[in-house]
């Protein structure tokens, strides 16, 4: 059977420092205003939006679609910073499909990968450059940048995974990461008290 154009191998070139790769299909920016429900200090959220609505993170994306299967590559660059006392982080989501895992590879910066099941199992993985984490199916996942430089990570997953954000938006994760006495500290999420 003749191969179609999309069935040929392809490579992209990744920059470990910036987290950007080329060619890419698209990039997406998330600002504080895109994450109003995620950060716990609503007063800080409002004043930051009024003061210019800073960038929290960017996603650089390529979906490798072939005739037979679909893998996606996404790199994420989270800026250093906080909303109130809470560190910048990704929105976080579940995969829609019950059998879809993901691999995350931290290449720059420091922080935590937070994961939680719908049954309430919670696990946080400390990240430094070189940490590679497997996110099993049915675990929501969010990355938090607790460092002073951008945190960059690479993600690979199947395009059949799908993404659902509403549950995380409503309930958050069991624990939040805030700065206390200059240190990253886990506190119980207000919505779960
Ligand atoms: C997709 C994968 C990542 C995230 C990205 C941003 O399955 O987990 O590429 O999309 O890190 O996070 P979020 O929660 O805004 O999608
Ligand atoms: Zn995911």
Q: Is 19 in the pocket of ligand 1 (CB under 6 A)?
A: no
Mean pLDDT of 155-165: 97
Structure tokens given for 45: 């959220």
pLDDT digits (tens, 9 = 90+) for 87-122: 999 999 999 999 999 999 999 999 999 999 999 999
Predicted structure pTM score:
0.98
Ligand nearest to the CA of residue 159, numbered in listed order: 1
| pLDDT at residue number 93 | 98
Ligand 1 atom nearest to 155, measured from its CA: 9
Residue 13 · residue 19 · CB < 8 Å:
no
Q: Is 93 in the pocket of ligand 1 (CB under 6 A)?
A: yes
Residue nearest to atom 11 of ligand 1 (CA): 76
Domain definitions of the chain by residue range = 19-192
Establish how many alpha carbons lie within 13 A of residue 154's alpha carbon, considering only the half-sphere containing its beta carbon. Answer: 20
Establish how many alpha carbons lie within 13 A of residue 81's alpha carbon, considering only the half-sphere containing its beta carbon. Answer: 17
pLDDT digits (tens, 9 = 90+) for 72-93: 999 999 999 999 999 999 999 9
Q: Which fold has domain 19-192?
A: Jelly Rolls (2.60.120)
């Amino acid at each position: 059977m003749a191969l179609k154009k999309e069935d040929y191998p392809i490579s992209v070139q990744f920059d470990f420092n910036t987290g950007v790769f080329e060619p890419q299909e698209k990039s997406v920016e998330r600002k504080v205003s895109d994450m109003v429900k995620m950060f716990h200090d609503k007063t800080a959220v409002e004043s930051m939006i009024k003061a210019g609505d800073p960038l929290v993170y960017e996603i650089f994306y390529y979906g490798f679609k072939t005739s037979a299967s679909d893998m996606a590559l996404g790199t994420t660059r989270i800026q250093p910073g906080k909303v109130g006392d809470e560190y910048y982080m990704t929105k976080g989501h579940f995969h829609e499909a019950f059998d879809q895992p993901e691999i995350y590879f931290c290449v720059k910066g420091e922080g935590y990968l937070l994961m939680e099941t719908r049954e309430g199992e919670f696990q946080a993985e400390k990240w430094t450059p070189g940490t590679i984490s497997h996110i099993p199916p049915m675990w929501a996942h969010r990355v938090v940048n607790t460092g002073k430089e951008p945190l960059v990570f690479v993600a690979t997953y199947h395009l059949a995974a799908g993404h659902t954000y509403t549950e995380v938006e409503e309930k958050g994760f069991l624990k939040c990461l805030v700065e206390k006495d200059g240190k990253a500290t886990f506190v119980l999420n207000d919505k779960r008290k």
